[in-house]
A and B are shown apart, each in its own frame.
Chain A
């Protein structure tokens, strides 16, 4: 089947749905392709809140400065300005749509403190902020009547004459491939957490959007900047929201000491995430951990605060480690959480591939630079989701629809048939993914060095060779997840390759990139972005882009 729309959004998380809503408001014929039902998107897992300088005494400049300092000066300051200036109106808009944000005594929106911020400017709904925003936005999509192709899995972007003109997607329920043509495509397919094991991310965060755009010719930027969240639950790696520390929780080592006083004496547990994660790894490495974890202690917050403001993580700790946060400290450790880098865009969401926009985690504007502040990711999704929706709707007014693309559809059909027909080879999606992801955690985690990254690159090339022989252990057309998992491993290998090459290239320590062989930040040589561009049959091309500095000159970073 071939379908035509003006604007096609890939992904139905916050960024995707916000983009679709805006494009629809601008009068575009818009549709969403998503591999899971919108409500299942990983935006729902964002717990702590969303930042904006909305309160009295706060200013967008203060928010911008905190963000830029948090980024270790790698963020583009013009983009950060856009985000921080527009944040208040976007949050209030969500309030008007119905989000039940926490209020203060005056009945106005109330805040909580968050890491790396000089003011309490995080707006929230308990510890289910992402879910509350996502459901509200989904309901707005219903109200606006936006067409959603649910459980459609994108296999490739369709590029014609140097412009993105749609995509090919597998309808899971029927097993049919469809060509969905559009005058503009917005890539909002979310993160790539599964490239690492363990990760806080859902099983669906497989980097599809990065790989699709990358293979289509759009460069990726800042890919070495992988955030490890300081508090992920022992064992499963589930996220224990930063809101816990925002409400006043302590990080303790095996000696019961609040060790952050030695690393960030001013901000303590509310230092930026990269700082906290490194501190924890150091504590554990120096023998002050507990089975490879440190402790998150909420006991002094009291049952009322825990049950009212942190109910979800309270429930998760009970369910998955059998501990009651009211009575017990919880074992946590740093875990892969977020990819700061992504498809390079400008502040309207436009990528370097004509007709392709990107927003949300998959995009890199860059507002997070080397390290994202907690509660800035939800903000990123709704600000740049909206902006890409608006920009793409304007763009498509001057563009004629494509009449081609059948050849791409047929090529994809042949590729899927070949994959399905391949006999059992011993290479399975599960084994390849696990090997890849544990390898990435080992060599490309909180601390990195040349030897490890080189080893990673070598292992990657082996994994890529084996991937060419992957077999799909399910021959059915209906809801064939073995097939989509196999395709996802392909996406993940592309992502991992971009991450490792970028990390190897950046010979300094900045933000989330901590090179033990280059332990210092080196502004003279490395105050610049690394871009990586896919080349068929050749190694990818690495290039640089300057960091935009407006009013905040880089300075030493301490908390």
Chain B
């Protein structure tokens, strides 16, 4: 299946392991990733809140690029998904806004017709690729692992922009997938909460307390690791975890996996191929539970 692949800034920046991992699992999933190399950053909501018109134009450009490829726009980041879904929702319904966008991007040789579907890899697994294909690709069941899902706000809220009203099952895909891969999903309230990243730069301690609290809750419920479809969450949950531990004044030490890394493990790829050795919090303990070594 061809997809217009939108990697997002972070997988090409601070989380290169995500980019590597998603490329590694594309083949077993039958995904042809046609990367939109010229698509801009979504603005992560920051530009949207300050200048909605500018954000409409930037995201309209990306949506137009995907439209011209005639394929779904696939994201691997809850934040990219949320921002693109938000703008796409409005551009599909508000012709005045769409006209404005087309006036702006038209000068750059683009036009958005309002037909692109924006889908996170997580959604595509269930809605386009299919459970059977995933099952067929599994070479190593993750039996014995207790995994806490961590969605990231923007893939869940606001529900109406993300199609969750029509497809409420999207709120359960991570749990379903964890089960499908042979592991056990940990139920805890933090799964749908905010990692704190949006205010990391300007409200550091509160941001870290959020991240730390959620991981600790999962840990208390027995989680060996957290899995997230959002690299921004990953930056806070993994990248800042030692600092979060300092804020909470207790050790945390729970590894955080990107969604494609978890899939890759089940597909039989090695931890190195998935760059599981490039995390701030060592993944060693969790991997040993499924008899893998880094």
| A–B touching in complex (CB under 8 Å) | no
